[in-house]
Amino acid sequence: MLIPRPRSRNDTAGTFTIDERTRIAAEPATESSAQYLQQVLRASTRLPLFGAGDATDVPVIALRLAATPEDLPAGPGGDRTEAFRLTVTPDGVVVEGGGAAGVFYGVQALLQLLPADVYRRGQVRTAAWTLPATVVEDAPAFAWRGVMLDVARHFRTTAEVLRLVDQLAVHRINRLHFHLTEDQGWRIEIKKYPRLTEVGSWRRESQVGAHVPDADGTLHVAGYDGRPHGGFYTQDDIREIVAYAADRFVTVVPEIETPGHVRAALAAYPELGVHPERPVEVWTEWGVAKDVLNADDSTVRFFRDVFDEVVALFPSAYIGLGGDECPKDQWEDDPRTQERIRELGLADEEQLQAWIVGQLAAHIESHGRRAFGWDEILEGGTLAPSATVVSWRGMRGAVTAARRGHDVISTPDDQVYLDYRQSDLPNEPIPVSIVLDVDTVYAFDPVPESLTEAERAHVVGGQANMWTEHVDTVSRLDYQLFPRVVALAEALWSADAAGPRDVDEFRVRLTEHLARLDALGVEYRHESGPRPWEERPGVRGRPSTREERAAYIDAVTANIAV
């Protein structure tokens, strides 16, 4: 029972047994996949797997590029880089890929044909390790299959990020969108500006739970935890994460927030703000701080310098510059900003935001990369043709961007925001927004129905977002991600596989797949609901209905013309 569901699987008679004679053979182009397979198998089977062997009839697991890739299924736009064919016979195993990534995904299918204990890091099974004879052919529906991790609200160590990379790789998720900066913390070392991490990576305490209303409806923070929180990645940490992920065919895509969500940067360098005479601290609340960047040339140069170092660390074709939830209050009230708007020949604050985003996008593109930002970058002006839009406020941004000729990554909050609550149960820990269960994620389609065939080609894929205001441990991260990421993986890989989606059939396969998550050590949410140690009694959330959420999204996207 494979997850994601393959395009084609044809079982035949017999089995292949992995034993002490079995060897893994790999071409140079598939060496990283061979090492990965060897690491997983040796940990759980204690078999040697590498070495020449003495006999000519040694059973082999062969990893290689396909001699005729055109015989493999076609992926997005006819690309076969991620396509594979897995052939198991009683005499041996062959994994062929249209590219090195395809071989790696064939290895993932191979591992799923074995007992779930293959994912354990020590040997617990002494029975024979056998694979059923079969031929599996597969390719993804979308090129971008992503998960965004917010490490700014709650920091995750390098080791914890690598653990997540392993979890994503098992599910053929190929993008880790790394959300590195926020009002509540700056998480990446920038050599030229050391105070970004010396000051900006730590806050003195953190809000606990959501805001609560006073008698007059005014929201306030119910309480703080009284504990400093912080951390950051050195540039060597970043290099390690990027290299480790690359070996698992996961591209790490960085994001640096501008021109809003920047209070941590302003705490370190007040001159970047509209009111440098009013020092601020790294924000201890959740939500959106009103502090934003000023529009001075020196501030734009500062962030160009930041992006220079970011680009040097991340080989990703895409570099994120944020652009979302930028309050205009300070700009509206500041004479210097109003003069700057007139000086630049702009109409209003919306165009000023677009100007700042455009300046930084052009700088990213001067490095041969593509800028991407949240769907607010559609507001206030014309985007560079290469700019990519991450549509989060429903699908209106996806439709608008595609019709304007921009590539799109779909991540509608009402379908794939994994910080949202998973049920209506009263003991759901710190319930956020609407109910978003496994079935909802499984039904996710990144392509809006209203697009024409030509417009649909601009949708490069989708992702789920993991915001971490209320996710302060790696156990809670597991709880929020899984098993919903399993459903996401199938939605993005198998969307155009033969036959309609069948959630009941998926749930049968998911039940078996949970044993794999157990073996991997993933503390996923159980179908029955949170267990006692997963609850957060007394900590208030902010649940809402789908009707309330839809009304809000309609209001905030009203100025995006479809």
Evaluate the omega torsion of the peptide bond into residue 228 and state whether it is cis, within 30 degrees of 0: no
pLDDT at 52 over 70: no
Tokens at residue 188, please? 């990446």
- Residue-wise pLDDT tens digits, 146-190: 999 999 999 999 999 999 999 999 999 999 999 999 999 999 999
* pLDDT, position 191: 98
Q: Which residue has the higher pLDDT, 49 or 441?
A: 441
Helix axes 158-170, 503-520, angle to 10 degrees: 140
Average pLDDT, the chain: 95
Q: Which residue has the higher pLDDT, 56 or 180?
A: 180
Where does residue 126 rank: exposed (0-12), middle (13-18), buried (19+ CB within 10 A)? exposed
For 62-87, what is the mean pLDDT?
95
Instruction: Evaluate whether 468 touches 148 at the Cβ level (below 8 Å).
Output: no
Instruction: Evaluate whether 202 touches 152 at the Cβ level (below 8 Å).
Output: no
For 347-369, what is the mean pLDDT?
96
- Residue-wise pLDDT tens digits, 508-517: 999 999 999 9
Label residue 209 by pLDDT band (50, 70, 90): very high
* pLDDT, position 111: 98
The terminus-to-terminus CA distance of the chain in angstroms comes to 41
Site of tokens 């599996």: 136
pLDDT at 358 over 80: yes
pLDDT at 53 over 50: no
Concatenate the DSSP letters of all residues of 408-445 into one string.
Answer: EEE--HHHHBTTS-S-S-TTSSS-EES---HHHHHT--
What does the alpha-carbon distance between residue 271 and residue 293 come to, in Å, rounded to a whole number? 9
- Residue-wise pLDDT tens digits, 98-153: 999 999 999 999 999 999 999 999 999 889 999 999 999 999 999 999 999 999 99
* pLDDT, position 215: 84
* pLDDT, position 56: 61
- The residue length of the chain stands at 562
What does the alpha-carbon distance between residue 161 and residue 150 come to, in Å, rounded to a whole number? 11
- Alpha-carbon 352 to chain mean position: 29
Alpha-carbon distances of 38 from 23, 47, 276, 499, rounded to whole Å: 9, 9, 56, 34
pLDDT at 451 over 90: yes
Return the beta strands (E) in 303-415 as ranges.
318-322, 370-374, 388-391, 408-410
What does the alpha-carbon distance between residue 190 and residue 198 come to, in Å, rounded to a whole number? 10
- Among the residues of 209-334, which ranges form H helices? 235-246, 263-268, 297-313, 329-333
Taking alpha carbons only, the member of 237, 230, 235 closest to residue 284 is: 230
Label residue 32 by pLDDT band (50, 70, 90): very high
What does the alpha-carbon distance between residue 321 and residue 438 come to, in Å, rounded to a whole number? 30
Return the beta strands (E) in 139-293 as ranges.
144-150, 175-179, 181-182, 185-186, 202-203, 211-213, 219-221, 229-230, 251-258
pLDDT over 90, % of the chain: 91
For 198-204, what is the mean pLDDT?
98
- Alpha-carbon 407 to chain mean position: 17
- Alpha-carbon 230 to chain mean position: 21
Of the candidate ranges 59-63, 193-197, 198-202, the one whose mean pLDDT is the lowest: 59-63
Give the helix/strand (H/E) hosting 134: strand 129-138
Strand, coil or helix: 86: strand
* pLDDT, position 562: 61
- Residue-wise pLDDT tens digits, 265-276: 999 999 999 999
361: left (phi over 0), alpha (psi -120 to 50) or beta: alpha
* pLDDT, position 498: 61
Handedness of CA 487, 488, 494, 496 (dihedral sign): positive
* pLDDT, position 429: 97
Evaluate the omega torsion of the peptide bond into residue 4 and state whether it is cis, within 30 degrees of 0: yes
* pLDDT, position 51: 60
Evaluate the omega torsion of the peptide bond into residue 483 and state whether it is cis, within 30 degrees of 0: yes
Which residues sit opposite 95 in a β-bridge? 63, 86
pTM: 0.97
